[in-house]
Structure 1
Amino acid sequence: MSAEFDQLQAEFERFEASIRTVDDRFAGVGAMRQELTGLRASASSPDGGVTVVTGPGGAVLDVEFTDAALAKGPQALSAALMATLREAVGEAARRQAVLVEEHLGDSLGLVDQVLETQAVAFGTTVEDLRSKLAEGTPEPPDPAEDFSEERVLRQADAPPPPPAPPAGGSAGDTFLRSLFDEED
């Protein structure tokens, strides 16, 4: 009976240890979620004419063009924009993988999977992407720059200004002005 009890006690202790491990892993999920929400990645075209800012999931938060980029014509602008978008979205995905791995452990090999997939998709090497990952430290989010309600390619249309009052005014306006003029 004692051997069975010892065996049950050992199994229970292993079970408790695995529960503690799971609890420890998921204790940081709230912090991870907050870090993922604040994630920002930015990329610029080689000439600096196009800049794209992305957030979690590769969501495009902002796109900026210089006058020089706009002057290059639609095909060149389109090519620069697409290349810069790919780079910014790729950077966001790499940063997300790093954050998840930091909080949940690397048992999934998530960063390696992302790097391998992007190397194939972007026609580069895992080592090149890993070096970009090492040099790109995440920037802290700027709460003043919340682009969630903004349009991506142009600012939301502003309401038209109110119409200007007629120059002459109505007879009632003239009467009221004359009352105020007489009291002075």
Structure 2
Amino acid sequence: MSSHMDQMIAEFEKFGARIRQAEARFAGVSDMGERVAQVESVATSPDRNVTVVAGAGGMVTDIRLAPGAMRLGPAELSATIMTALREAVAGAARQQAGIVDEVFGGAFGVNTSEQVRQAQAEAFGTPEDRAASQDETSSSRRRPTPSDDDDFDQDTIYGR
């Protein structure tokens, strides 16, 4: 009977160790939520006329137009805004995927970042290596302030 009891205690200890492992893996979930909430991706058009900022979930949090943007024709301005918007939202999605990978990737053997890059490459015709390099630059950017660049007006398109 002692052998049986020892075996049950050993099984219980294994079970307890698995529970502690699961708790350790999921301990980062609340931190992950906070980090995802802080995601910010900034995309500026090559001519610096349009800057778009996107946050968690791809929510656009700011659109800034330089005075030169007003000299563009409606079709060109619209296309420039849409391109910057797509880049900012895609950058935010890549950042979020990176956070998910840090917390869960190793535990579950998933590579969410790679899946997002592939999906974006297919959707936008963007080479994956370009998306990866955009990810590196956008994650190190901070949200521009009006004093960061003389080209940008003090007001957003919504006014203040």
- 1 or 2, which has the higher helix percentage? 2
2:41 aligns with: 41
Per mean C-alpha deviation after superposition, the further-off stretch among 55-64 and 120-129 is: 120-129
TM-score (normalised: structure 1) = 0.70
- Cα 1:135–1:51 change in 2 (3 A) is closer
Normalised by the length of structure 2, the TM-score is 0.79
Question: RMSD of aligned C-alpha atoms?
Answer: 2.3
User: 1:111: how far off?
Assistant: 0.9
**How big is the shift at 1:17?**
2.3
Q: CA deviation at 1:126?
A: 2.0
Conservation of the 8 A alpha-carbon contact between 2:42 and 2:143: no
Unmatched segments (≥5 aa) in structure 1: 143-151, 157-184
Match of residue 131 from structure 2: 129
Structure 1 residues 154 and 65 mapped into 2: Cα distance closer, same or farther (>3 Å)? same
Cα pair 1:95 1:138 within 8 Å, conserved = no
Q: Provide the identity percentage.
A: 41
Task: Please tell me whether the aligned partners of residues 42 and 142 of structure 2 are also in contact (alpha carbons under 8 angstroms).
Answer: no
Report the CA distance between 1:133 and its aligned residue: 2.3
Instruction: Say if 1:18 and 1:126 are closer, same or farther in 2 by CA, change over 3 A.
Output: farther
Q: Which residue of 1 aligns with 2:158?
A: 154
1:43 alignment partner, SS class = strand
CA contact (8 A) 1:45 1:80 kept: yes
Highest RCO, 1 vs 2 (Cα 8 Å, sep ≥ 6): 2
* Structure 2 counterpart of 1:125, one-letter code: P
Aligned to 1:149: none
CA drift of 1:80 comes to 0.3
Contact 1:40-1:138 within 8 A present in 2 as well: no
Mapped to 1, the partners of 2:129 and 2:54 lie a distance apart of 23
Q: Does residue 1:11 correspond to 2:11, yes or no?
A: yes
Deviation at 1:19, TM superposition (A): 1.2
Give the Cα–Cα distance (whole angstroms) in 1 for the partners of residues 47 and 143 of structure 2.
25
- 8 Å Cα contact 1:115-1:126 kept in structure 2: yes
Following the alignment from structure 1 to structure 2, what is the Cα–Cα distance between the partners of residues 136 and 96?
12
In the TM superposition, what is the alpha-carbon distance from 1:73 to its structure 2 partner? 1.1
